[in-house]
Structure 1
Amino acid sequence: MSFKRVILLILSFSIIVGAVGCSSREAENPDAPDSSQVAATIGSQKITKDEFVFYLKNAKRDMEQLSGVYGKEESVIKKFWETKVAGEDPMATAKEKSLNALKELKILLTHAKSQNLKLDQQSLDKIKAHMDSIVKDHGKGDQKKADKFTQETYGIKFSQYEAIYKDYVLAYEIFVKKFKQDLNIPDKEISDYYNNNKKTYDRVIAKHVLISTVDSEEKELPQAKLDEKKKLAEDILQKAKIGTDFESLVKQYSEDPGSKDKGGQIQAARGRTVKEFDQWLFSAKDGDFGLVKTKYGYHIIKYIKRTTFDDVKLEIKEELENQKYNAKIEEWLKDPNYTVKPNKKLIDSISVL
């Protein structure tokens, strides 16, 4: 499993719950589900029907979004689920994805329990705040309405939703965070990685104001408007050159939503921006200001610096942590102790639609 896959899993869950979350309910819970409500087992961990339904809803939404049918009329969505792709049944694929995601979760929970990890107060407070927000926003302050919302949206009761959310936090926030911290990656390993991948981390930090020259459909504006935009860009450049606070110019004029709230700051690697912008960035030096025209408009740019090892050290450390974590996940997923034993009869009875 690639780290990208892990991120997608986390983001996917985040879209559903608005945050991430965990506590395993099996060993200590006298009300553990009977066998008819167990969708699968993974090692000593059980996957309940509720958990499977929740993750199946998750997989369903993800697949519909990736295919471009999400939110469309019922007939279009129904056709998607009834059409095999390269001989694969999308419904079977969704169920497989759900089991794979739950397998990873249960493996992490197994290791979290072996280390006696529990939800800390900060996590509990965040979980409570999220659950309260569901009651407020979707239940209009009524617990019963909130329960109806989770059942209609996720196929499970409000309390079951909370339990799954808690499990997710314990696994992906508490355990994974500790796993990475415990790696204690030495500085030499970080510097060696940097030296072996300098091109990747050779970037320019700059700030810019974008004066857009296209309309909402990305069509170029009429010539008269273009002339006005160019004049405005030239005026802003002059203000920047005489010492006007650049971030105030960004706040007042910039039409780039991706950088405006960050004072116009960007960090770009060579070849990763449009040609004109890229050429200016990598030929500029300390103290330079520039005016560059691209297909997006006029960019008033302030060169800040070329990145150094210190600028990217933390990023590299996190990259190495992710690589090692990902390698360990791959190892655990292949471990026969974590073989998935599905309750085929139960799983087959659960509809994707």
Structure 2
Amino acid sequence: MALLWAVLQGGYMRKIACISMLALMVFACKKGEEKKAQQVVADAQKGEEKITGTIAKVNGKPIDATLFNQEVDKLTQGGQRTIPEERLSRLKQSVLDRLIEDELLGQEEEKQGITVTKEESDKEFEKYRARFKTEEQFQNYLKYGKTTVEEIRKRLDSALALNKLLEKLGKLNISEEEVKKAYESGIKAYTEPEQVHAMHILIKVAENAPQNEVEAAKKKAMDILAKLKKGADFQELAKQYSDDPGTKEKGGDLGFFRRNMMTPKFEEAAFALKAGEMTKEPVRTPYGFHIIKVVERKEERVKPFEEVRDQIYESLKNRQVFKARRELVEQLKKDAKIEILVDLGIKAPPQPETKKPEPAGQAGAEQEKEKK
């Protein structure tokens, strides 16, 4: 904190001086909506420019700089993220393009009488909220994602309105045959592999350990196995003896896992057991000796079409929405009057130098010289 205060204090007078100079640079603009947006320095210390006023018009309707600046701040993390000037200009242009597109779509939705009811909005939000398992997870998302419930609702309402618009215009049309075809062609994605739910007790010994250490570890594992065969509780012995810090306190529980997730010897032994069975001998791996018990098994299962039908439909719809939106926006742009009232300072990429062709006579003369 002391270092931060010193930096801020040191930059304070420089900031005041810069702001004073900038005050002389403010210029008068035309009155009314036709005036171009003023560009002022928002952070004199960093030289970062902010825009005020109307930045663009779409069919005469103004787009204010407030929303533009909010979106740019998200990309730059409020100016904390260092972005090269040219790239920042292109990001700003991208933000402006998106705001213009949103305005075009909003005007078309209004023209077509598209509305989102409170019931529809609440339903979409609840579906979105259900992605988070707990309220704590949702609140963390809001905090670290630097967003609000209002912003999320606005995005969801906008997406829902777009879907309704595209459907009304006949641009969203997914047949049941298309959904079934996608299911059949992507059947591997809907196949759950064979899995086992296992517990283990590890007696650790290095792979290249001296023979006496290996024998001692194996004897300890054999003694534990003998207790288990006499009816001792597996999880209690795991908590007492296991050298695996990741599962020790959970009674050795590894949860479900599929093939190619464990070391080969461990996997081979685990998948050879039936539910409720335990290895008859300790299993040696590079980590040491394991006693493995399988709690339950899940055989390979292909999810039926009915189970994944909605998931596939949503995936196909999202692709179609992306394509249809792009095509609609291009059409709306052609028919719209769009005025850009701000210069974002985007420089055209440098063009490669082209070598002028030599006159035919000169080239022929040089070739004759080479022959001589």
Shorter-chain TM-score bucket reads 0.3 to 0.5
Greater helix content: 1
Output the TM-score relative to the length of structure 1.
0.44
TM-score, normalised via structure 2 length? 0.42
Higher gyration radius (CA): 2
